[in-house]
Amino acid sequence: MQARQHGIAGTMFTMAVVIMAALVLRQFLLPLVWAGLICIATWPWFLKLRALLNGRTAAAALLMTLIVATLLALPAMIGLQQIIKEAPVVAQLIADANSQGVPAPDFLRHIPFAGNEIWQWWQTTLAQPRGLSHLFTDHPEMHVHSATELLRRFGSQILHRLLDFGFAMLCLFFFILNGETLQRQTERIGIRLLGDKRWNRYFPGLPLAVRSTVNGLVFVGLGEGVLIGIGYAFAGLPSAALWAGFTAMLAIIPFGAPVVFLGAAGILASQGRMVPAVEVAAWGMVVLFIADHFIRPQLIGSATRLPFLAVLFGILGGIELFGLVGLFLGPVIMVLAVTLWREASAPTPLLP
């Protein structure tokens, strides 16, 4: 009886410590998760780098962190430079469009099947004063009234993201530095909680799932941005490099790239340049079809042994539940779910 009471007290103590630690760290959970995912994704590169540096772990961890920070920050800084350069004009255009409305382009009427409906919707929303505000929010008090207000909000978001980025890189350095120790400790805890057989059945494949998801989402998205950006340049779209950067960022999310390249095609069409607009839209669809139906599922699904639908729903559901970090957490969760399904549906029961 006394041993049982001690067990209950120990469980309650453990839960209390975990909950309090989560509350203390709640503001830093996102940088911690990002740092953990990046550490797992780049771990093979770190091992090669450490071998080149004759086993100097601290130097390799610092260099690996600096490389990752540069690879992440450099494109963002280039894009931010372009955004800052063009932000006042763009912000003023958005503010003017919000306060005065944007007349519906006449070419919308000529779109087959749904042209009149699209034109009517535009006239009743975007063409009306405060139409943009009503489109993105239902709260009148959140309307944006000036370019200055837009820039102030944008700057606040940038500062917040920079702080998160700094904390993530700091955490990444220590995760890489102590990675082998953390791996051994995690394995001991997992085996103690789940048992040796179940731990070895479920969790050795998770690092591979993270790495394959990074390859399938990030690198394929960057490739889509470069290829579609070439189409922007040939079509004569202003600030083609900036549009290509936005395309690459949204291409990481399935079905995200069309938001950008169809928007670019719409801008060209509104300028009366119908042929370049059609070329941009068609080229974007071709690149998107090949990347999303052949390259991306092959990179993610073949490495994780996940069906295409499991990969797709894992990514989209992960974004819905966790935000951007869900791009990588979603497939990892689906790996666990599919492993559980295969375990439960095996012809003979698998030992726990």
Domain residue limits, the chain? 26-177, 196-352
pLDDT band per the 50, 70, 90 thresholds, residue 144: very low
The answer to whether residue 234 scores a pLDDT higher than 70 is yes
d(CA 174, CA 39): 10
- Most confident option among 124-133, 183-192, 232-241, 287-296: 183-192
Token code pair at residue 176? 């890489």
Residue 110: per-residue pLDDT:
61
What's the mean pLDDT when you consider all of the chain?
A: 79
Of the chain, the percentage scoring pLDDT greater than 70 comes to 76
**Using an 8 Å Cβ cutoff, are 318 and 253 in contact?**
no
Q: Is the pLDDT of residue 106 over 80?
A: no
DSSP state, residue 55? T
Residues sharing a CB contact under 8 Å with residue 5, sequence separation 6 or more, in sequence order:
none
State yes or no: pLDDT of 352 exceeds 60: no
Average pLDDT rounded to a whole number, residues 329-345 = 83
Least confident of 82-91, 196-205, 239-248: 82-91
Nearest by Cα to 216 from 299, 293, 287, 326: 299
CA distance 150 to 208: 41
pLDDT-based confidence at 140, cuts 50/70/90? very low
C-alpha atoms less than 13 angstroms from C-alpha of 80 in its C-beta half-sphere: 14
**Phi then psi for 72, rounded to 5 degrees?**
-80, -40
Residue 153 clears pLDDT 50, i.e. is over it: yes
End-to-end CA distance of the chain: 28
What global pTM score does this model have?
0.72
Q: Model confidence at 177, in pLDDT bands (50, 70, 90)?
A: very high
Q: What is the mean pLDDT of residues 260-281?
A: 83
Q: Which residue has the higher pLDDT, 105 or 335?
A: 335
Cα dihedral 200/206/212/213 (nearest 10) = 160
pLDDT winner (highest mean) among 45-54, 148-157, 183-192: 45-54
> Nearest to residue 32, comparing CAs of 164, 123, 141?
164
Amino acid at 112: P
Q: Is the pLDDT of residue 205 over 90?
A: no
Read off the DSSP letter of residue 209. Answer: H
* 89 pLDDT tier (thresholds 50, 70, 90): low
